[in-house]
Structure 1
Amino acid sequence: MRSTQALLRLAAALGLVAALTLLGTVAGAAAQAPRAEVVRVPFPQDEGNLTPYTFELGYPLVTLIYDTVMWRDAAGVPRPWLARSVTRSPDGRRLRIRLRSGVRWHDGRPLTARDVAFTLRYVAENPHPRFTRQLADVEGVTTPDRATVVVSLRRPSLGFLDQPLADLPILPEHVWGSLPPGRLAPTGRPVGSGPYRLTRHRRGASYTLRANRGYFRGRPTVRTIQVPIIRDAERTIRSLQQGRVDTVPVSLPEDTVRRVRGLGTRVARGPLYAGSVLLFNLRRPPFDRPEVRRAVAAALDLGDIARRSGRTVPATRGYLHPASPWSSREDLQDFDERRASEALSDPALPPIRVLAPANDPQRVEAAREVVIALQRAGAQARQEVVPPERLARAVGQDGATPTFEAAIWSSPPLASFDPAYLDVVFGPGGRLNYSGYRSSAFDRLADRVASAPTPGARQVAVDRQLRLLAADVPVVPLFFPEGAFAYRTGAHADWVYVKGSGILDKRSFLPGERKLSESAGVPDRPGASISSRIGPLGIAALALLALAAGAALSLLWRRVRRPPRGAPRQRA
């Protein structure tokens, strides 16, 4: 009897301790991050009314207003966001998306499966330079009920969880479905489902974003985000030093980090997937000849260029960041100055002009190092620093006629998140194919990447793509800068660094995200199911269950402890 009583007393105590612990977790989630009134985040240009069809550089701002089906965690891995779960069929060609309940648009209307299906169809039918190509494998979309979306694919497309599901903002059908012909986006303030609403836009001057207090992932920890438009980079840095802004949403070079580091300012560091490459124009001499491109690649000591360009990672493993799960496991470029000299010292070779953007000191330095290496190998080479607008026209951006020979250019981070994006950069009709590269072998490999039934088979195809690009050399990947993002701790300290992209992310403004954002990997294979973590409501439910268990055990203990009627009471 006494052993039973002792066990019951222990169980009751453990139940109560568990209840108190879980209640503390729930209360702590609300109280952990200080609820800042205002955080000031500068941005270099006006981005229109911040819709998915009107931004240029402002994707991070757009995704504070809109949500996606999935969203990348701190490890850069797509996790369910608007989705509660995503399940693949055994053949990999059908995705069943179960949406969370209780999600609402900023105007109070519920977000349903119809909105997701509408978005996929709308973006497929209305070309968008970033999102439309991500939907190329969609054969059909159905909505069996208000919370379920079924997407049929023409091939497994294992990267579909990242692009489009973790990249494409979901649109409200009741707002976007009635647009007149020729208008791609609504005017006025956008209606999203995200943690912030756009409440004021002073064109060319600033944005004001207010917290969505009813956000389904928890009330944002910052009440207001002010976004002043500051076009000059030096003025932005001075504003941080003088306390007029609270962070700089772009990665800073090391000399600038030393300037801003000090009392009250910290720097978050991590991998950044946006890289720098030496881009060739394959349409005109001398880089229409593969042997000349290979000679230039052999002339470049990537380790030395990376060291001289600041805190960067040399791109010796090719076009994808070495921290990407899809990166090559072997070095793809070798420094061979003797081999380079044999081709580049040819007096018949025309002079090589290397363009660099005037607003990027790191890329200007990279161009200087490239030119020095080419001159050392015997080539006639010179650097030309030009305004970024002129450089964009020279490489053929926005349909301009390409006029460059070589340029220091950017590699998009989306390729390192999912290698299917390589087709956008090097495939036929790819909107970022500024080199003019054409290769039927690459196209066949791109099809294998999209059709691969397993991650292992997909990795084999990606490795072959990267080796082919290293052999054909439409670009020479140079380096990836280390991300360095400065912020004032007194304004907001709970920034979440998302691997590959930095700290300007909605996770940085949501309760508990800094502790919950560790990744354990995502199953992205046929037959796999991905479910979201237990959220605040789940934790609260567990807490109530623990309380009920504790109370029940306590009541049982009292009944066991109560003596039978007529029995004498025992003294303790």
Structure 2
Amino acid sequence: MGVNVLKGGAFEPWLASAQKLSSDGRTLTVDVDKKATWSDGKPVTAKDVVFTFQLVKKTPALNSSGVSFQSVAAQGEKTVVFHFDKPAFTQVASILQQYIVPEKYWTGKNPVTFTNPDPVASGPYTLKRFDPQQISLALRGDYWRSRIQVKQIRLPVVNSATEISQLTSGQEDVSGGAIPNLEKQYVDKDPAKNGYFYPTYGALILVFNHDKGALKDVHVRKAVELAIDRKQLIQLVTQLGADPISQTGLDAATQGKWLDPAYKEAVQTDLAGAKSQLQQAGYTLSGGKAVKDGKQLTLNYIEVADFADSVQRARIIADQLGKIGVKVNVQPLASGTYTDTREKGDFDLAAYGLAYGAVPWQIYNPLLNSEFAGTPNGGKAQTNNYLRWRDKSTDGLLNQLANTGDEQTQIELTRKLEKIIVDQVPYVTLSNITAGCAWSSRNWTGFPSKNNPYDICAPWNGGPAFENVLAHLKPVK
């Protein structure tokens, strides 16, 4: 099923047509759509779903959401039943968003290393071309779900400059890239046909490695939090529609009902306050340096070298922290090296994106649950807790959230978690993350917009959201 962030995290039918959780939260029944078929023409069955979840359960690298269940079994051809040893109210969204693979083609394969060269899937398209220059998809003639009129999708690899020219010339119809000065460079050239839609999708945070000495001190973390100028970051590193948001990581526009009004506003830059926090941590400011035991406070900030805007952001943050005497070494790394370095904990600072789901527990649990923190000092982190945040109060609240299906209780518990995030600063929230697209109505109409915000249109987002967009598109006659 899809989760529509723009509709408060509402579930929308997709491969599953219905789902029901028992009143005690220990049994989840999911019905696979009776019409669903794989692209080889075979039906999608309950056995495929069971196979997929058993694969996820025994392969930690695939279980990024931390899904846990006692058993999963097929009940007939199209019904799947999950049993849990404790209430699973907050797990439902993660389970319903799991992509399903066909048992026939994945049996006996290593799911971590298998490249799936001839993919068979349940979606509306099949793969026709895959190379470093372009991905091409062709519409299935037998697609079982929605009527889609877009017969072919071409996904070329382009840079920002090429992207703009291809959009304006009609070679491209939609782009999910970060185009600088989008309104001036693109929309204003033909306002009748050129448009965009970039709603909030999640939050951009700066994570601390809590296994590192200096960052174990909350005063050091608060100093970093207060020294960062979020507005400057947004002005200098282009991200359309970005704004500073609550330190909790929740954006009031889409996550308002969960957000404590006391934490609604973003943290304001306060250099004097930041320096005071460093002093409380035992540092003295000498010659423009924050010094303790004769050494300047120095932090290593890792980033993916290929992400030019992210590296630029890291350098700006380094300059901002320099104003309170903290030295930041920015380390651009190759993608694979970056991932390995982050997992091993060989860093102090790193940026990270949170994608909202049906409930805040979906982002907080993998991010902050000590179960996913790995072993201290160099142990490989599991899933998303690269922070190595280990806190009994946090774990307790996450556990309580997982055991209640009452929304008001969930709100109260979530707000207690927010207080920990605000008071203890396990990470620093920089801004919201917007996800969407720039589009041209030269060839197709029906893209989402501010006046018709039915879903997120970022092509890279894929899944139910972009299929929903494709189903709305109509050719210009």
**Which range, TM-score by smaller chain?**
0.7 to 0.9
Structure 2 residues not aligned, in runs of 5+: 286-290, 373-381, 460-465
Q: Structure 2 vs 1, CA of residues 460 and 296 (structure 1 numbering), >3 Å: closer, same or farther?
A: same
Distance 2:178 2:88 in 1: 32
2:104 to 174, 191, 206: 174
Deviations for 1:413-464, whole angstroms, at most 9, x for unmatched residues?
A: 1468642332222223242222332212211122112112312222222222
Matches for 1:336-485 after TM superposition, within 5 Å: 336-344=270-278, 346-347=284-285, 348-349=291-292, 350-353=296-299, 355=301, 363=310, 366-367=313-314, 370-371=317-318, 373-376=320-323, 378-381=324-327, 384=330, 386=332, 389=335, 392=338, 396-397=341-342, 399-402=343-346, 404-407=347-350, 409-414=351-356, 418-428=360-370, 429=372, 430-483=382-435, 485=437
Is the 1:257–1:484 contact (alpha carbons within 8 Å) kept by the matching residues of 2? no
Residue 76 of structure 2, aligned match among 129, 139, 145? 145
d(CA) in 1 for partners of 2:118 and 2:194? 34
**Cα gap change, 1:169/1:199 in structure 2, threshold over 3 Å: closer, same or farther?**
same
Distance (whole Å) between structure 1 residues aligned to residue 54 and residue 226 of structure 2: 46
Taking structure 1 as the reference length, the TM-score comes to 0.67
Q: Structure 1: any 5+ residue segments left out of the alignment?
A: 1-68, 514-572
* Greater gyration radius: 1
8 Å CA contact 2:19, 2:31 repeated in 1: yes
Q: CA deviation at 1:330?
A: 2.9
TM-score (norm 2): 0.79
Per-residue Cα deviation, 1:510-544 (whole angstroms, up to 9, x for no partner): 2589xxxxxxxxxxxxxxxxxxxxxxxxxxxxxxx
Which among 182, 188, 191 is matched to residue 120 of structure 2? 191
Question: CA contact under 8 A between 2:247 and 2:267: conserved in structure 1?
Answer: no
1:209-242 CA-partner distances (Å, limit 9, x unpaired): 1112222223321001112233x44443444344
1:91 matched residue in structure 2:
24
Contact 1:495 1:503 in 2 (8 A): no
Which one scores higher on RCO, CA 8 angstroms, separation ≥ 6? 1
The aligned counterpart of 2:186 is 260
Separation in 1, partners of 2:469, 2:455 = 15
1:329 partnered with 2:261:
yes
Partner of 1:119: 52
> In structure 2, the residue corresponding to 1:458 is in which secondary structure?
helix
Q: Could you tell me which residue of structure 2 aligns to residue 282 of structure 1? A: 210
Tell me if structure 1 keeps the 8 A contact 2:202–2:434. Answer: no
> What secondary structure, in the 3-state scheme, does the structure 2 residue paired with 1:149 have?
strand
> Using a 3 Å threshold, how does the CA distance of structure 1 residues 153 and 276 change in structure 2: closer, same or farther?
same
Structure 1 SS opposite 2:147: coil
1:293 correspondence with 2:221? yes
Aligned to 2:90: 159
1:218 and 2:160 are equivalent in the alignment: no
Give the equivalent residue in structure 1 for 2:163.
Answer: 236
The verdict on how the C-alpha distance between 1:445 and 1:250 changes in structure 2, with shifts beyond 3 A counting, is: farther
Q: Distance in 2 between matches of 1:390 and 1:84?
A: 38
Give the deviation of 1:95 after TM superposition: 1.7
Shift of 1:194: 0.8
Aligned counterparts of 1:331 and 1:500: Cα–Cα separation in 2: 27
1:288–1:73: structure 2 CA closer, same or farther, 3 Å change rule?
Answer: closer
| Aligned positions, number | 433
Shift, 1:361, TM fit = 6.1
Write the letter of the residue equivalent to 1:392.
Y
Shift of 1:385: 7.0
Q: Is the contact between residue 126 and residue 137 of structure 2 (CA under 8 Å) also seen in structure 1? A: yes
Q: 1:321 to 1:210 in 2, by over 3 A?
A: same
Equivalents in 2 of 1:190, 1:239: separation in Å?
29
CA RMSD of aligned residues (A): 3.3
Deviations 1:264-291 (A, max 9, x none): 7533224232432233233334323211
> In structure 2, what residue type is equivalent to 1:259?
Q
Match of 1:82 among 15, 21, 43: 15
1:510 to 446, 471, 477: 471
**Residue identity matched to 1:486:** A
Say whether the 8 Å CA contact 1:359–1:388 is kept in structure 2. yes
Q: 3-state SS of the aligned residue for 1:330? A: helix
Between stretches 145-154 and 72-81, larger displacement belongs to: 72-81
Aligned to 2:379: none
Give yes or no for contact 1:321–1:416 (8 Å, CA) kept in 2.
Answer: no
**Residues 481-496 of structure 1: pairs in structure 2 closer than 5 A:** 481-483=433-435, 485-496=437-448
Given that 2:318 and 2:330 are in contact with CA atoms closer than 8 Å, whether structure 1 keeps it comes out as: no
Shift of residue 186, structure 1, vs aligned partner: 6.8
Distance 1:371 1:208, change over 3 A: closer
1:293-312 matches, within 5 Å, as 293-300=221-228, 302=230, 305-306=233-234, 311-312=241-242
1:479 to partner: Cα distance: 0.5
**Cα pair 1:274 1:500 within 8 Å, conserved:** no
Shift of 1:77: 2.2
Partners of 1:187 and 1:360 in 2: how far apart? 27
Closer, same or farther: CA 502–465 of 1 in aligned 2, 3 Å: farther
Tell me the distance in 1 between the aligned counterparts of 2:403 and 2:170. 51
- Given that 1:353 and 1:405 are in contact with CA atoms closer than 8 Å, whether structure 2 keeps it comes out as yes
Structure 1 contact 317–327 (Cα < 8 Å) conserved: no
Is the 1:106–1:193 contact (alpha carbons within 8 Å) kept by the matching residues of 2? yes
